[in-house]
Structure 1
Amino acid sequence: MSQPLRDITDLWTTPAAPSFVIAEVAQAHDGSLGSAHAYIDAVAKTGADAIKFQTHIAAEESSELDTWRVKFSKQDATRYDYWKRMEFTEPQWIELKQHAEAKGLVFLSSPFSLAAIRLLDRLGMSAWKVASGEVTNRLFLDAMIATGKPVLVSSGMSYLEEMDATVALIKAAKSPVAVFQCTTAYPCPPEKIGLNQITELQARYGCPIGLSDHSGTPYPSLAAIALGAKLIEVHIAFSKEMFGPDTTASLTTQEFAQMVEGIRFTEKMLASPTVKDASAETMEPLRKMFGQSLVAATDLEAGTVLTRENLSCRKPGHGISAANVESVFGKKLKHTVKAAQFLSVDDLE
């Protein structure tokens, strides 16, 4: 049985709502519709809330001037060719969305053209993800804001001044907004993750803050949750040895499932603060079991004045606690006590 479909708007309406975890497939499917569907099945088993793709329409987003950042593909002569190979038709996107929702996953996809925004809007996106390179694109932003759906903004390549303007624009339109701390590096080394930005962005924007992580490890996401992050986005791949630009910065499906488990574990810890004394009080039976009581170090005659030298201790802690040893110094024994015999207050004058 699939999990219930998560309502992403609870991030804004319910402060105690669990964090929203997004599995980013991006181009890991390498243009194969079958692989894209296989990712949906795999992600549904990880406990993620959503699966996210990228919607590319080459003729609408690219041109002959669109150059490679890293020439990773021998089969694609140009970036335009690559984006063309990544395309799915509208009926295919409909199938993917229906499949995801049937598996209990919120379907998300980052658009990279106005045509892609219109296509995804027809599909009924529950939220928009603004890619790092599109944070200042007013054509994109205006089209997304017009739908009234939440807008999730990635900060990977932006100056704070640009983020300020974009967040203000979305807020002015009364649309829910969230901001991802993101570093555009694949894979991203630990010293560039920018965990400090989680709390700084929270204070700056007063909205849900997330981490879009490209480290290829689960650790930044767990740390971000501990700092108050409400959204986590991480790339996923069947194997880090697969072809594609993002696989080294991805988690395998097994690693992703472990990360989600860790996130939910961390959330339970954060939601259940302890009071140390109250916790110790509940441990009284164990404190007696594991504590130690005073015993005679050797055979002691009646009238012996107790000193540190003739005392020792043994478990359990049901007698005179070893913590109270100074209270018996100078006391006389009423009668003979054998070595290792537990002392009691009745043994003392």
Structure 2
Amino acid sequence: MEKQINLGGRLVGDGCDPYFIAEIGINHNGDLAVAKRLIDASFAIGWDCAKFQKRTPDIAVPESQKNVMRTTPWGEMTYLEYKKRIEFGKEEYDYIDKYCREKPLAWTASPWDIPSLEFLLNYDIPFIKLASATNGSTELIKKACASGKPIIMSTGMSTQEELDKAVDLLDRFSNGNFALLHTNSVYPAPIDELNLKYIQTLKKRYGCVVGYSGHEQNLEPTVAAVTLGADIVERHVTLSHDMWGTDQKASLEINAMYLLYRRCRDIKRMLGDGEKKLEEDELQVRKKLRVEEK
């Protein structure tokens, strides 16, 4: 039986093309003009969805980090002040929603707390993405499932036992309407710690649609992930690695995002269905070269 999930009218999973999520995240640095350029680029190179991150900093920032001083392009400030400085609110998301619909390009965001989830549900987003940093929050998982939206959850920062618990919640409260993304949450992720074979383990263990959220600095691991069965691809996108920000170095610039899209689409076509067959092109070659026994 084929396992699929419907993301905004697009079937994703067995027998489908990969679904590509361009993770803009916080790479806009609080600048709507930068966000707009990243949306433009994601649409132009064929990615399916632009994704942001939504926080209520007073809730989402750990207490131990709130007063840590940070050097930023806007001067010295606490980590909490920095997070507030780059956070988009209703005005920005109203614009993002309108701008993406005009293209059209799907968009969504990862809520890091309950108020952020409630905020996002004011928009017709195709799915809710739960980040690795929040996949241990029972309340957030249950509230996300109660929305009726499909859930995509990253599996980083978790033990197997913790992940079993989170997936049990997803299975029970979303009626199985979820997908998992294998990921290593180090930015950038070391290639010898990617453990890409775990994609196959996730598929066997949970019987759901599985994808890959990559934080490595090159393209090959993500292509390999698709070869191993990833049906969703999520990569951070940036205008330039030289931009200020914690995620820029683990992101891909636009040309690399385009190359990755093409390679992943091609790999999916190359893999086929595993059945032995003679296509018409090969039959024509056979007629020219093969001497048939009488």
Task: Give 2:125's aligned residue.
Answer: 125
Native 8 Å contact 2:68 2:79 kept in 1: no
CA–CA separation in structure 2 for the residues paired with 1:261 and 1:9: 19
Q: Distance in 2 between matches of 1:127 and 1:106?
A: 10
Q: Which has the higher contact order (CA 8 A, sep 6+)?
A: 2
Conserved in 2, the CA contact under 8 Å of 1:56 and 1:111?
A: yes
Deviations 1:279-331 (A, max 9, x none): 7653247759xxxxxxxxxxxxxxxxxxxxxxxxxxxxxxxx9xxxxxxxxxx
1:236-315 pair list within 5 angstroms: 236-271=237-272, 275=276, 281-284=283-286, 287=289
Q: Is the 8 A contact 2:67 2:80 kept in 1?
A: no
Q: What's the counterpart of residue 89 of structure 1? A: 89
C-alpha deviation, 1:249, in angstroms: 0.8
SS at match of 1:123: coil
- Kindly report which structure 2 residues correspond to 1:225-236, keeping only aligned pairs within 5 A, or say none: 225-236=226-237
Q: Tell me the residue number matched to 1:328.
A: none
Task: Output aligned runs, 1:1-349, within 5 Å.
Answer: 7=8, 10-11=11-12, 15-62=14-61, 65-66=64-65, 73=72, 75-173=75-173, 174-271=175-272, 275=276, 281-284=283-286, 287=289
- How far apart, CA to CA, are the structure 1 residues paired with 2:27 and 2:202? 30
User: Is the 8 Å Cα contact of residues 69 and 77 (structure 2) preserved in structure 1?
Assistant: no
SS at match of 1:211: strand
Instruction: Report the CA distance shift for 1:27/1:68 in structure 2 as closer, same or farther (over 3 A).
Output: farther
Quick one: structure 1 residues 175 and 76, their matched pair in 2 at CA, closer, same or farther if it must change by over 3 Å? farther
Larger radius of gyration: 1
How many residues of Structure 1 are paired with residues of Structure 2 in the alignment? 283
User: In the alignment, residue 283 of structure 1 is paired with which amino acid?
Assistant: V
Partner of 2:4: none
| Amino acid of the structure 1 residue aligned with 2:234 | E
Q: Offset at 1:76?
A: 4.7
Deviations 1:99-133 (A, max 9, x none): 12322321110111211111101112221111111
> Where does the alignment leave 5 or more consecutive residues of structure 1 unmatched?
1-5, 289-320, 322-349
State the distance in 2 between where 1:237 and 1:70 align: 25
Q: Which moved more, 1:68-77 or 1:143-152?
A: 68-77
**Structure with greater proportional strand content:** 2
**CA distance in 1 between partners of 2:201 and 2:223 (Å):** 18
Amino acid at match of 2:20: V
The answer for unaligned runs of 5 or more in structure 2 is 1-6
Amino acid at match of 1:152: I
Q: Output the CA distance in 1 between the equivalents of 2:153 and 2:265.
A: 24
Q: What residue is the counterpart of 1:306 in the other structure?
A: none
Does the CA contact (< 8 Å) of 1:8 and 1:20 recur in 2?
A: no
Measured in 2, the distance between the counterparts of 1:147 and 1:51 equals 20
Question: Where do 4+ consecutive residues of structure 1 move more than 4 Å?
Answer: 67-72, 272-281, 284-288
Shift of 1:23: 0.6
CA drift at 1:71: 5.5
> Following the alignment from structure 1 to structure 2, what is the Cα–Cα distance between the partners of residues 191 and 56?
32
What is the CA RMSD across the aligned residues, in angstroms?
2.6
Change (3 A) 1:205 1:116: same
Identity of aligned residues (%): 27
TM-score with structure 1 setting the length: 0.74
TM-score scaled to structure 2, two decimals? 0.88
